[in-house]
Amino acid sequence: MAGLLGAAVLLVLVIIASLVVGARDVPFGTVLDALFRPDPAVTDQLVVLDLRIPRTVVGLLAGLALGLAGALMQGVTRNPLADPGLLGVNAGASLFVVGGIAVFGVTSALGYVWFAFVGAAVAASVVYVIGSLGRGGATPVKLTLAGTALTAALTSLITIVLLSDPATFDRYRFWSAGSLSARGLDTALQLAPFILVGAILAATAGRMLNALALGDDLARGLGQNVVAARIICFVAVVLLCGSATALAGPIVFVGLAVPHLARWFAGPDYRWTLALSALLGPALLLLADVIGRVIARPGEIEAGLVVAFLGAPVLIALVRGTKAVGL
């Protein structure tokens, strides 16, 4: 409970920083005026209303989706390295979005999301099927290798399409950087229902993941329908990853690092892990966005790039850590 309260306080502080900090310093009092007494004639208030509030909402939704998706994937696969980026889900969503841009001329986030859903579902299914082949079934190592190989293959296909179509590359390059500023509030609100449905499914999965963590045979012995649990988690991951990718581009490492941070506070109970991941995911992504605004003034570094830079040491620590070999 203390961890949940601490994560909530951290998220509130990061939201305030996201509204106050940027290339143009806006006093906290002006932010409050923009929220409760908006005056379009005040330039600083317009910065908050038109730029920082939409950017903060996009970060909240994308971070929530990626944090929950990572916790679900690590729970279902019992793999501490499971992450939408490492297991090829983001790459699958990206490839189908690139295909939508190149073949159908899609330009809106609401158009991207349907291609992202299909791509995420296809990639997750392919990784699971490949990882399940052979003796021993879907082990964590086989799933990770299958995801890494599929990510490399899909990334190569994306590169081939982009190099052969300059118009598609021009649209793709802004979206692919993991920017929170590329989408407006209207786009975020259009995609919010998909993330809400995914979050509700994830909220119902905590008890199922606790049973699956004991192994399939013991979970069945406790009365858990293993197939139904995996289908619910699969649908939730597709909705969350597809929406987040359509909204902010293919952001990696949020889904990997956040569940581990959540377990550090909450222990192995997935009901608490999912609740904490829902708070820590947006906190991490918004913090990365704020850092990206500060370290390259007057320019900015996209949040997706900052998260990747911060996530690399986390991945190395997980690989070297002796406590991260199983869930």
Place of tokens 């390295």: 81
Residue of higher predicted confidence among 109 and 22: 22
- Whether 279 shows a pLDDT value over 80: the answer reads yes
What confidence tier does 319 reach under pLDDT thresholds 50, 70, 90? low
Instruction: Find out whether 242 and 117 touch, Cβ atoms under 8 Å.
Output: yes
CA dist 122 and 139 (Å) reads 20
Residue 204 has, within 13 A of its CA and on its CB side, a CA count of 14
What confidence tier does 41 reach under pLDDT thresholds 50, 70, 90? confident
CA dist 81 and 15 (Å) reads 28
Is the bond preceding residue 298 a cis peptide, omega within 30 degrees? yes
Here the tokens at position 71 are 């916790």
Instruction: Find out whether 206 and 276 touch, Cβ atoms under 8 Å.
Output: no
Average pLDDT over residues 228-249: 85
User: Closest by alpha carbon to 110, among 100, 119, 123?
Assistant: 100
CA dist 265 and 283 (Å) reads 15
Average confidence score pLDDT of the chain: 82
Alpha helices in 78-165 (DSSP H): 89-104, 109-132, 140-164
Here the tokens at position 26 are 């806006």
Give 107-132 pLDDT, tens digit per residue. Answer: 776 777 888 888 888 888 888 888 77
- Whether 310 shows a pLDDT value over 80: the answer reads no
Give 151-190 pLDDT, tens digit per residue. Answer: 888 888 888 888 887 777 777 766 665 567 767 788 888 8
User: Closest by alpha carbon to 93, among 233, 251, 232, 201?
Assistant: 251
pTM for the structure as a whole = 0.84
